[in-house]
Amino acid sequence: MKAARVILEALKREGVDTIFGFPGGSVIPLYDALYDCPGITHILARHEQGAGHAADGYARASGKVGVCIATSGPGATNLVTPIANAYMDSVPMVAITGQVSRHLIGLDSFQEADVTGITLPIVKHSYLITSKDDITRTIREAFHIASTGRPGPVVIDIPVDIMKEDMEFDPDDVPPLHLPGYKPTVKGHMKQIREAARVIAAAERPVIYAGGGIIISGASQELREMALYGHIPVVNTLTGKGGFPEDHELSMGMVGMHGTPYANYALSQADVIFAVGVRFDDRVTGKLDAFAPHATFIHVDVDPAEISKNVAIDVPIVGDAKWVLGELITELRKLELSPDRHLPWMEQVESWKRDHPLIVREPDNGEIMPEWAIHKIWQVTNGDAIVCTEVGQHQMWAAQHYLCRHPRQFISSAGLGTMGFGFPASIGAQVGSPGRLVIDIAGDGSFQMTLQELATAVQFRLPVKVCIMNNQWLGMVRQWQELFWNSRYSQTCIECQPDFVKLAEAYGAEGYRVSRPEDLEETLRIAFASPAPAVIDIRVKQEANVYPMIPAGGTVHDMMEREL
């Protein structure tokens, strides 16, 4: 058997049935093996970045490891952004890159790039295979590393001459895992968990601050049980959306720069913050020394390096969120918490919610307000769609107004903030969730970064729906220019843009345009019901800003709640 085929067989042994990729000189043997390899579907992207983000979206929607392939040199460097993206948001991914033949490495050969070197700071781990004998062991290790502990991307760089060699493969001969330096902590320290329970029980103003770790570890049920039993309000991060149902009365919605006023008020006034699966990102904390000044912090995370990285933690618990929450609930029950032990706090929280709600501006003068459009999408889909986003204003409006009830429902480039992520991610999410309605909420700027993947969606009959919040601006930068740079709109106006309807049609997808508020709902229903991929160009008010907003490095006192 060719080593290239062994690579595929080893992937299958890890449960891989779908690969996203793009061929090239140094992976021809791999694609030759794919030509007649049963059990693996290859989704051909139109750009390696598309393949990488699709693998990411697939992983986030399905919980499985996303796999992508690119050739050496430019193919591999085109994967750099998706790898960095997966790294920042802890997404399990295995990226296989072809490398030039071993005797050509280091000679500036055609399509050669030092891929393991380039990706070093943005991978959980990486391998340069130097012998066919290392193939099966490396693939086994890569999947183990990518998917356990704090997940992340693993790069496997394979010289093309190795792929062409002949070798034996025995499917039952599974290489043993030998990773003496890698032992993620799953079980939290019981003494710390008991201490956390004691602190929570004694809290007068407790808040749960829940992030993407809840979704990664599958701890939604435990989180819900804990919040309900302890009667504790929950704020979530961007990646934490859907970890706790956002329509629940205890949900305070998203926290941070564009979070709800009440989530930010709650964190700022809390006396105990139970942080789980979060990393105290600067988009959440704002000014660090002024962040939650009255709080005792409990932090649960599987990555010990996150503990006290940005905020000094009083009760650290290293472990898997699901495991730790399970034990913590048991400990809390032993303490027999009374649900009305912090009534004044709950009243305070309720009054914040009542007095500072998120505002959905109704259409004004025949113009569609972007958050109203998102709200309509939410209504039309009963809040059940898988929603991917690009990066910018539309992303924040989507995060604010597309309330999620379930984990793995909201897929967004949170840490890296990658424009052009959402559309290919939606393709991957659709592959990973056949039969589900998958929507990419896009901006007109972001969509133009990866729109070539329309061909992929059409070719593979993936009926994703791109809803462009088209304001003809690079809106988020324009908003910053307006608010902090004296309205000097440098290079953010993008009025010159394609006719998105014709563009969609040119690719063989459906195109729709909505300019009037009264047409939106009907158009959405038609487009969402269609079995074809569709682009819905929604013309929204051009200079609408995202509110609330806490300026970067600010505090809750600097919050701008609405348009002045």
Partner 1 sequence: MKHTLSVLVENKPGVLTRVAGLFARRGFNIDSLVVAETEKPELSRMTIAVDEQDQNVEQVTKQLHKLINVLKITDLDPAGSVERELLLIKVKASGQTRGEIMQMVEIFGARIVDVTAEVLLIEMTGPREKVGAFIDVLAPFGIVEQMRTGRLAMSRGRKAT
Does 38 participate in binding partner 1 (rule CB under 8 A)? no
Stretch that binds partner 1, among 219-227, 262-270, 299-307, 548-556 (CB under 8 A): 299-307
Q: Identify which of 153, 172, 149 has the alpha carbon closest to the alpha carbon of residue 91.
A: 153
Strands of the 125-128 sheet, one edge to the other? 41-44, 18-21, 66-70, 93-99, 153-159, 125-128
> Helix 261-269 and helix 343-355: axis angle, to 10°?
150
* Segment interacting with partner 1, rule: CB under 8 A, options 92-100, 302-310, 417-425, 489-497: 302-310
Size of the residue set binding partner 1 (CB under 8 A)? 18
Asked if 216 touches partner 1 (CB under 8 A), the answer is: no
Whose CA is closest to 447, among 425, 475, 463, 468?
Answer: 468
Of the ranges 174-182, 263-271, 348-356, 496-504, which one interacts with partner 1 (CB under 8 A)?
174-182
Closer Cβ to partner 1, 178 or 191, answer by number: 178
* Beta carbon of residue 303, minimum distance to partner 1 (angstroms, whole number): 7
Q: Is 102 among the residues that bind partner 1 (CB under 8 A)?
A: no
CB of 141: closest distance to partner 1 in angstroms? 8
Give the pairing of strands 438-443 and 410-411. unpaired
Which of residues 104 and 267 has its CB atom nearest to partner 1 in the complex? 104
Task: Kindly state the smallest distance separating residue 136's Cβ from partner 1, in Å.
Answer: 18
SS3 call for 227:
helix
Comparing CB distances to partner 1, the nearer of 183 and 354 is 183
**Nearer residue to partner 1 within complex by CB, 174 or 305:** 305
Q: Residues 116, 192, 413, 471: which binds partner 1 (CB under 8 A)?
A: 116
Nearer to partner 1, 90 or 264 (CB): 90
Q: Is 175 in the site for partner 1 (CB under 8 A)?
A: no
Q: Which stretch binds partner 1 (CB under 8 A): 281-289, 301-309, 337-345, 418-426?
A: 301-309
Q: What span, in angstroms and rounded, lies between the C-alpha atoms of 251 and 29?
A: 52
Stretch that binds partner 1, among 46-54, 114-122, 284-292, 549-557 (CB under 8 A): 114-122
One of 128, 223, 226, 385 touching partner 1 (CB under 8 A):
128
Q: Is 121 in the site for partner 1 (CB under 8 A)?
A: yes
* Beta strand segments in 381-456, E: 386-389, 410-411, 438-443
Please say which residue, 182 or 480, places its beta carbon nearer to partner 1: 182
Kindly tell me which of 231 and 309 has the beta carbon lying closer to partner 1: 309
Name which of residues 134 to 163 contact partner 1 (CB under 8 A): 145
Nearest-angstrom CA–CA distance, 517 and 376: 10
Report the residue from 38, 176, 180, 434 that binds partner 1 according to the rule CB under 8 A.
Answer: 180
Q: Are 320 and 200 in contact (CB under 8 A)?
A: no
Q: Which stretch binds partner 1 (CB under 8 A): 40-48, 307-315, 376-384, 428-436?
A: 307-315
* Member of 189, 194, 248, 309 binding partner 1 (CB under 8 A): 309
The answer to whether 211 and 237 are in contact (CB under 8 A) is yes
Query: Which one of 1, 120, 190, 529 is in contact with partner 1 (CB under 8 A)?
Result: 120
Amino acid at 347: E
Q: Hey, how many other C-beta atoms are within 10 angstroms of the C-beta on 250?
A: 17
Q: Is residue 177 involved in binding partner 1 (CB under 8 A)?
A: no
Question: Does residue 190 interact with partner 1 by CB under 8 A?
Answer: no
Residue 117 interacts with partner 1 (CB under 8 A): yes or no: yes
124 binds partner 1 (CB under 8 A): yes
* Alpha carbon distance 107, 159 (integer Å): 14
Tell me how far apart the alpha carbons of residues 550 and 556 are, in angstroms, rounded to a whole number: 7
Q: For residues 242 and 319, give the distance between their C-alpha atoms in angstroms, rounded to a whole number.
A: 21
Q: List, as one string, the DSSP characters of 129-181.
A: --SGGGHHHHHHHHHHHHHSSS--EEEEEEEHHHHTSB----TT-PPPP--TT
Phi, psi of 220 (to 5 degrees): -60, -45
CA angle, corner 60, sides to 299 and 63, nearest 5?
85
According to CB under 8 A, which one of 63, 175, 304, 417 is a site residue for partner 1? 304
Q: Calculate the alpha carbon distances from 380 to 375, 466, 519, 523, 524 in Å.
A: 9, 15, 13, 10, 7
Q: Determine, following the binding rule CB under 8 A, whether residue 118 of this chain makes contact with partner 1.
A: no
Q: Which stretch binds partner 1 (CB under 8 A): 95-103, 115-123, 322-330, 341-349?
A: 115-123
Tell me the three-class secondary structure of 289-305, residue by residue: HHCCCCCEEEEEECCHH
Residue 119 or 479: the one with the smaller Cβ distance to partner 1 is: 119
DSSP string, 389-401: E-SSHHHHHHHHH
User: Rounded to the nearest whole angstrom, what is the least distance from the CB of residue 305 to partner 1 in the complex?
Assistant: 4
Among 12, 102, 125, 405, binds partner 1 (CB under 8 A): 125
Q: Under the criterion CB under 8 A, does residue 363 sit at the interface with partner 1?
A: no
Could you tell me how many residues make up the chain? 564
Stretch of 64-72, 251-259, 306-314, 489-497 lying at the interface with partner 1 (CB under 8 A):
306-314
Q: How many other CB atoms sit within 10 Å of the CB of residue 134?
A: 17
Between CA 449 and CA 419 the distance in angstroms is 7
The vertex-344 CA angle with 341 and 347, nearest 5°, equals 115
Nearest in space to 163 (alpha carbons), one of 387, 10, 298, 21 = 10
**Minimum CB distance to partner 1 smaller for 121 or for 435:** 121
Told to check if 182 binds partner 1 by CB under 8 A, we report yes
Q: Is residue 317 within the footprint of partner 1 (CB under 8 A)?
A: no
- Where along the sequence are the contacts to partner 1 (CB under 8 A)? 116-117, 120-121, 124-125, 128, 145, 179-182, 303-305, 307-309
